[in-house]
């Protein structure tokens, strides 16, 4: 049986940084559902936030992160993010990472939504994700201790009699199953933007990691907090791609068809307000029948500063010389996820989660712009430190238990139907009527989250995983009777500090029975 030290599922920045830190000491297998670049890190147009300027301080970055997260974040986790993130970025700079510089030779620090200081490092203008993941990839591509397994979808996490995670089961594009075993299994599968019709995410990012972890018995939390990016390029009703927040940082303004600025009286930071506030205002304007544009006339040399976005506009017949780019909000980032401790350990021994799929407490109820790549670096470093300090268990039982599960039936709905109903009822604005309607729709099918799926196609399994994630998210959104961060309830429009401050909803299951619990947010200690 194929066995290695560490299996990493995913190939975004968190996965690559972890592999980089481990490969000189341990054997690593990286498994990806598609090609290595089919992830949100590679697509990231924004930058990496770090308080490296002499005019900045990690305490400012901490406060900006907590405020953007509507104070739902974990203070210890956020402190570690901004302090260790700064150190990680400085090490990247020392290693020769290709960050953009000014004509004067200093690092070109941009400002984005809800940041109080310019602290955003970019690479290649709006190609930061591609450049930085490429930088890490170049450092490990030739490593003899890393095995790359592409185009295999992980469909199950394997457990032994003690409940330890000991490996994974995959399915390739020919629908053939394979198994791989490891002492440590790391989920770095990214988010779940594909649950919705309009998204900035890669099409393959639909929430696999949440379904895998939940089925294995790990705790899931904060799924009601899902960020919708304010500015997605939309042409004739079709979603094309993300329009980076850095454009507004460079001076672009959100306007309606009459040229009126829409954010002037909405937030003190106007167009650079927190994403959930800007997205909500655009949503309201669109609902009233108005069209919304990014006015890029204040930006000189737009094509030089934002080459990828300019090319995307050109490909879709948007004349940037007219200085207006049509935008709508779309699903972007999952603040919740698999509950982890400060190292990335889940509640399941042998199973870890880092990056967007994890909920470490660093983003609270709404992520601060350009903190996502930073999180990947920090937790790639943190988990590596833990694994390298962990004594190898030579007695680990690699005999997987047989699961007594009923086979998954033919799915009675399409992926597109699920995306459409989620967008309508669990999208930017929610209420009890819509959430109840969605939960009833999801629960009317003869499905449970714990069915056998080996016999199904990859496409069916992906849709089934989406259904599992959708059920958990809809339940959480219905249970949280307040508006906080990216979770906006029209029937509960205010924050409820008495009943919901620092309180999070956790999903877990034991013996294939679902359970929902409540807990005050804390820095959990998990034995791993």
Dist CA 356 CA 209 (whole Å)? 10
Q: Could you give the C-alpha distances from 144 to 31, 34, 148, 517, in angstroms and in order?
A: 16, 22, 10, 45
Dist CA 32 CA 468 (whole Å)? 21
Indicate the angle between helix axes 208-216 and 458-479, nearest 10 degrees. 80
Residues 6+ apart with CB under 8 A from 67: 114, 274
Judge whether 213 and 261 are in contact, CB under 8 Å: no
Dist CA 496 CA 365 (whole Å)? 14
Dist CA 436 CA 121 (whole Å)? 43
User: Is residue 362 classed as helix, strand or coil in its secondary structure?
Assistant: coil
* Strands ordered across the beta sheet of 358-359: 358-359, 337-339, 220-221, 503-510, 513-520
Write phi, then psi, for 353 (nearest 5 degrees): -145, 135
Indicate the angle between helix axes 458-479 and 432-443, nearest 10 degrees. 140
Dist CA 276 CA 278 (whole Å)? 6
Dist CA 395 CA 401 (whole Å)? 17
Please say if 103 is a catalytic residue.
Answer: no
Place of tokens 């066995």: 3
C-alpha closest to that of 160 among 349, 27, 1: 349
Over 108-177, what HEC string results?
CCECCCCCCCCCEECCCCCCHHHHHHHHHHHHHCCCCCEEEECCEEEEEEEECCCCCEEEEEEEECCCCE
Dist CA 507 CA 486 (whole Å)? 19
Dist CA 218 CA 163 (whole Å)? 11
In this structure, the dihedral spanned by the alpha carbons of residues 464, 468, 471 and 473, taken in order and rounded to 10 degrees, is -120
Dist CA 460 CA 466 (whole Å)? 10
Residues 6+ apart with CB under 8 A from 322: none
Of the listed 119, 130, 198, 275, which one is catalytic? 275
Just list the catalytic residues: 275
């Amino acid at each position: 049986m194929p066995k290695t030290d560490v299996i990493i599922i995913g190939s975004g920045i968190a996965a690559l940084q972890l592999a980089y830190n481990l490969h000189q000491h341990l054997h690593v297998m990286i498994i990806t559902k598609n090609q290595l670049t089919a992830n949100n890190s590679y697509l990231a147009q924004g930058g990496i936030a770090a308080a490296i300027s002499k005019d900045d301080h990690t305490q400012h970055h901490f406060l900006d992160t907590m405020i953007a997260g509507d104070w739902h974040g974990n203070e210890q986790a956020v402190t570690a993010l901004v302090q260790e993130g700064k150190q990680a970025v400085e090490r990247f700079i020392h290693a020769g990472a290709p960050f953009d510089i000014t004509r004067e030779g200093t690092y070109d620090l941009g400002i984005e939504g809800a940041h109080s200081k310019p602290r955003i490092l970019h690479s290649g203008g709006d190609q930061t994700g591609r450049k930085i993941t490429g930088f890490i990839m170049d450092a490990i591509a030739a490593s003899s201790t890393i095995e790359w397994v592409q185009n295999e979808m992980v469909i199950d996490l394997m457990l032994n009699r003690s409940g330890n995670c000991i490996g994974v089961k995959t399915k390739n594009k020919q629908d053939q199953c394979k198994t791989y075993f490891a002492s440590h299994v790391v989920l770095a599968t990214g988010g779940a933007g594909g649950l919705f019709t309009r998204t900035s995410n890669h099409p393959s990012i639909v929430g696999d990691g949440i379904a895998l972890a939940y089925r294995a018995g790990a705790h899931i939390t904060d799924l009601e907090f899902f960020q919708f990016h304010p500015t997605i390029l939309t042409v004739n009703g079709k979603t094309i791609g993300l329009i980076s927040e850095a454009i507004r940082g460079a001076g672009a303004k959100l306007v309606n068809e009459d040229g009126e600025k829409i954010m002037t009286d909405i937030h003190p930071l106007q167009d650079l307000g927190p994403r959930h506030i800007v997205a909500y205002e655009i949503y309201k304007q669109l609902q009233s029948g108005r069209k919304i544009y990014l006015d890029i006339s204040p930006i000189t040399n737009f094509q030089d500063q934002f080459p990828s976005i300019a090319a995307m506009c050109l490909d879709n017949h948007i004349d940037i010389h007219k200085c207006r780019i049509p935008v709508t909000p779309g699903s972007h980032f999952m603040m919740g996820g698999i509950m982890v401790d400060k190292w990335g350990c889940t509640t399941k021994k042998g199973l870890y989660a880092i990056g967007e799929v994890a909920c470490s407490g660093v983003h609270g109820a709404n992520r601060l712009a350009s903190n996502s790549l930073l999180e990947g670096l920090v937790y790639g470093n943190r988990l590596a430190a833990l694994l390298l300090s962990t004594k190898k268990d030579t007695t680990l039982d690699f005999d997987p238990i047989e699961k007594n599960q009923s086979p998954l039936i033919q799915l009675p709905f399409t992926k597109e139907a699920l995306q459409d109903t989620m967008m309508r009822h669990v999208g930017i604005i929610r209420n009890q009527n819509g959430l109840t309607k969605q939960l009833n729709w999801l629960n009317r099918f003869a499905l449970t989250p714990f069915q056998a799926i080996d016999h199904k196609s990859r496409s069916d399994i992906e849709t089934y995983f989406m259904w599992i994630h959708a059920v958990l998210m809809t339940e959480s959104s219905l249970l949280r009777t307040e508006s906080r961060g990216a979770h906006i309830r029209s029937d509960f429009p205010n924050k409820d500090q008495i009943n919901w401050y620092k309180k999070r909803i956790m999903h877990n299951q034991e013996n294939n029975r679902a359970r929902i619990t409540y807990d005050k947010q804390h820095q959990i200690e998990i034995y791993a």
